[in-house]
Structure 1
Amino acid sequence: MSFKAAAIQMCSGTDPKTNAETMERLIREAVSQGAVYVQTPEMTGAIQKDRAALKAVLKDEKGDIVVLTAAKLARELGIYVHVGSTAIARPDGKIANRGFLFAPDGERICTYDKIHMFDVDLDNGESWRESSAYEPGTQARVAELPLATFGFAICYDVRFPSLFRTEAVAGAEILTVPAAFTRQTGEAHWEVLLRARAIENGAFLIAAAQAGTHEDGRETFGHSMIIDPWGNVLAVAGGEGEEIVFADIDPSAVTAARSKIPNLKNARDFNLDTVKNAAAAGGGLQ
Structure 2
Amino acid sequence: MPEGDTVHQAARRLHQALAGHTLTRCDLRVPKLATVDLTGRTVLEVTPRGKHLLTRFEGGLTLHSHLRMDGAWRLYAPGERWRGGPGHQIRAILGTDESTAVGYRLPVLELLRTADEQRAVGHLGPDLLGPDWDPDRALTNLLASPEIPLGEALLDQRNLAGIGNIYKSELCFLLRVTPWLPVGELPEETAARLPVLAKKLLEANRDLPPVSRHRPSTDALRAAPPSFRSTTGRTRPDQRLYVYGRAPRPCLRCGTPVRTAEQGDGSRVRPTYWCPTCQQGPTP
State if a TM-score over 0.5 links the two structures.
no
Q: Point out the structure with the larger helix share.
A: 1
TM-score by length of 1: 0.29
Q: Point out the structure with the larger strand share.
A: 1
